DNA sequence: GGCACTCGATACAGTAACGTATCCGATACA
DNA sequence: TGTATCGGATACGTTACTGTATCGAGTGCC
């Protein structure tokens, strides 16, 4: 391992601002269309600052993905841990908590997936990431189900995958309906109905 | 309506070759990274031919999406109509039939979705497309379910959405596992197990 | 089989983004 | 407070892609 060059406070701050701005830029323009100038400019810098911190825009993109993933997992964990009790309402609480970050996360995650489908190297990274992510998530699902007095009728990993893919789909549907009028905070019909239905339909009472 | 300028045989052929080549190019490079030169070159033409037939690469992209969608729907319909009888095995037959076109279709569809999330105008087109597509598909699901002697325990549209999103997810998983060794023609564990389970879990016997 | 015209090839200029090399101000440290 | 180093800004040359304008061969038609 090469010794890390000790990042200064100033440098860390610049990186953070670049990362934060990148979420918006990538969400709006996409990895392909976003230019280094867009990314630096959105953070209030010039390209000089960018190249001083990242070697390519893909470099920044991957760093952003890491940061967003970490924030998503933390949000879920926090919500679940601070829940007063476990019932189907927990699903709504989690969705509500994820909502503000959902659009950017969905887009970045999806573009990463496309990249992974095109490049075996990226594909391996992506798969590793997702296994870890879904493993943690499967534990949460299993715990919640147990507290509900139920058990899955198929391997919990598959149930989790099903829930996750439904949630992903819902993110897309919600983002698409962005212009359609809807009451603030309402989690959306599809997910509110379907997620619990699937959760119950693919599980059975314990006893 | 302006009168269509009567496309010559030569012209139609050029368009078709451009469309066919575009599927591969867009799947490999993506809409953003693909250049007009890539697209024309892959079809054996120069940019002159491209600009004579399409005004922008987005133009070609949308045309490709239409073509691929039509082929997907046709494939499903043909498979279902020529099925000896309706049982859970039909799912496998449909998947098998879609398989060769699946990767390109998934990528193009996903990039279209991203475009739709970023541009309200495109978003409306996309939504219209999907409503039509999923409407047709819901009919097929309902018919199949009826012949199986079952009925959905939630609105058939939601069940269809669930199945579709699982299938989409599976497409991604399969494409990612492209390098992993697997027997030819095997439809993949996830989808083979999960799809029927969901179909049964979200429906009940008729009587 | 000759003629007109369509359509794809070629050539050109303009533009935008890239990556680097250099400069200068800010910051840390003594 | 002085000085050395770090980090972001600026300027530059290069490359690659775009879109149009023009040319010439292949095609359909009589």
Domain map (residue ranges) of chain B: 1-55, 64-205
Smallest CA-to-CA distance from A68 within A9, A96, A117, A26 is with A26
Quickly give B31 CA vs C18 C1' distance in Å: 20
Nearest chain B Cα distance for residue A204, angstroms: 10
CATH class of domain segment(s) A57-205:
mainly alpha
Q: Which nucleotide is nearest to B45 (CA to C1')?
A: C8
For all residues of chain A together, what is the average pLDDT?
A: 87
Which candidate from B29, B30, B179 shows the least CB-CB separation from A120? B179
Mean pLDDT, range A131-144, rounded to an integer:
86
pLDDT at B68: 95
At B34, is the secondary structure helix, strand, or coil?
coil
Residues B162, A190: C-beta atoms closer than 8 Å: no
Pick from B62, B60, B71, B82: nearest CA to B14: B60
Question: Could you tell me which residues come within 8 angstroms of residue A114 by beta carbon, excluding any fewer than 6 positions away?
Answer: B30, B107, B110, B111
| Nearest one of B29, B120, B131, B109 to B64, comparing CA atoms | B109
Res B94 pLDDT > 90: no
Residue B44: Cβ-neighbour burial (10 angstroms; 0-12, 13-18, 19+): exposed
Determine phi and psi for A146, rounding to 5 degrees: -60, -45
Contact B117 A107 (CB under 8 A): yes
Superfamily name with CATH number, domain B1-55: Homeodomain-like (1.10.10.60)
pLDDT tens per residue across span B179-206: 554 444 455 666 777 888 889 999 999 9
Q: Which of A171, A198, A199, A203 has the highest number of chain B CBs within 10 A, making it the mutation to test binding with B?
A: A198
3-state SS class at B166: helix
What's the mean pLDDT when you consider all of chain B? 87
Query: In angstroms, what CA-CA distances link B17 with B20, B70, B112?
Result: 5, 17, 21
Q: Which two tokens stand for residue B59?
A: 């133009």
**Cα angle value A191/B168/B39 (rounded, 5°):** 130
CATH topology of domain B64-205: Tetracycline Repressor; domain 2 (1.10.357)
Same fold, B1-55 and B64-205: no
CA gap B205, B207 in Å, rounded: 6
Q: What is the pLDDT of residues B5-53, one digit of tens each?
A: 566 888 999 999 999 999 999 999 999 999 999 999 999 999 999 999 9
- pLDDT score of A120 more than 80: yes
């Amino acid at each position: 391992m090469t010794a890390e060059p000790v990042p200064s406070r100033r440098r860390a701050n610049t990186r953070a601002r670049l990362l934060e701005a990148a979420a918006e830029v990538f969400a709006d323009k996409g990895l392909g269309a976003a230019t280094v100038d867009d990314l630096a400019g959105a953070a209030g810098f010039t390209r000089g600052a960018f190249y001083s911190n990242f070697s390519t825009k893909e470099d920044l993109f991957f760093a952003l993905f890491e940061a967003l993933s970490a924030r998503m997992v933390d949000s879920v964990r926090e919500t679940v841990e601070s829940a007063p009790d476990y019932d189907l309402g927990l699903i709504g609480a989690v969705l509500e908590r994820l909502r503000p970050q959902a659009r950017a996360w969905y887009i970045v995650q999806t573009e990463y997936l496309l990249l992974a489908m095109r490049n075996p190297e990226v594909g391996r990274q992506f798969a590793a990431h997702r296994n870890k992510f879904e493993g943690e998530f499967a534990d949460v699902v299993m715990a919640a189900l147990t507290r509900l007095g139920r058990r899955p009728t198929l391997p919990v990993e598959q149930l989790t995958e099903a829930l996750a893919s439904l949630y992903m789909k819902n993110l897309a549907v919600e983002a698409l309906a962005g212009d359609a009028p809807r009451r603030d905070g309402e989690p959306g019909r599809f997910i509110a109905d379907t997620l619990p239905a699937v959760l119950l339909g693919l599980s059975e009472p314990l006893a």
